[in-house]
């Protein structure tokens, strides 16, 4: 049994926290009459107040009615999407430098404005108090109403004019 080793626990010395001069003293910090000790009294402190952006919320955006009350300046960005398309639930609108497009819950484009060409496509009814146009092609283009030449032309299936109303 002489070859058995005896292990002794390692002694860890106490190290003070940085910039601490020694062991913590638990002595009373304040004396009162008749050598009665009590803890040191801490003065009442008010919690910090929240800082709220009153100017922006109060005068520019009405959070109750969900309305924008003042003009905002936009910075350059890639695009803006309003809403999130979910099939059968909701549609969305996308605004980009190339144009504006909207789609409904079914995923069909309901209107589109091409920023490069100025072309516009509407799936629904277009209603206006006044329409000023050079020429209007109705249907497949078989009927042409031309404001500049002041005439209406009806074409057959081969593209030959069969009826001309107005200046010939």
Alpha helices in 50-143 (DSSP H): 54-60
Q: Are residues 96 and 113 in the same domain?
A: yes
pTM: predicted TM-score of the whole model, two decimal places? 0.46
- Structural domain of 151: 128-168
Q: Could you read off the pLDDT of 30-67 as tens digits, one per residue?
A: 555 566 666 677 788 888 888 766 555 667 778 788 88
Overall number of domains in the chain: 2
Query: Which pLDDT value is given to residue 87?
Result: 93
| 41 occurs within a structural domain | no
* CA within 13 Å, CB half, 41: 5
Task: Please tell me whether residues 149 and 160 are part of one structural domain.
Answer: yes
């Amino acid at each position: 049994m002489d070859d058995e080793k005896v292990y002794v626990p390692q002694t860890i010395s106490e190290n003070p926290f940085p910039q601490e001069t020694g062991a913590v003293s638990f002595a009373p910090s304040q004396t009162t009459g008749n050598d009665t000790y009590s803890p040191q009294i801490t003065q009442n402190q008010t919690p910090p107040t929240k800082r709220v952006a009153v100017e922006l919320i109060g005068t520019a955006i009405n959070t109750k009615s969900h309305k924008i009350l003042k003009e905002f300046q936009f910075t350059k960005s890639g695009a803006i999407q309003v809403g999130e398309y979910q099939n059968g639930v909701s549609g969305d609108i996308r605004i980009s430098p190339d144009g504006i497009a909207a789609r409904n819950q079914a995923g069909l484009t309901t209107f589109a404005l091409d920023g490069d060409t100025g072309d516009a496509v509407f799936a629904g009814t277009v209603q206006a108090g006044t329409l000023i146009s050079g020429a209007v092609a109705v249907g497949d283009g078989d009927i042409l109403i031309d404001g500049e030449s002041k005439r209406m032309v009806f074409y057959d299936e081969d593209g030959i004019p069969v009826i001309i109303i107005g200046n010939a």
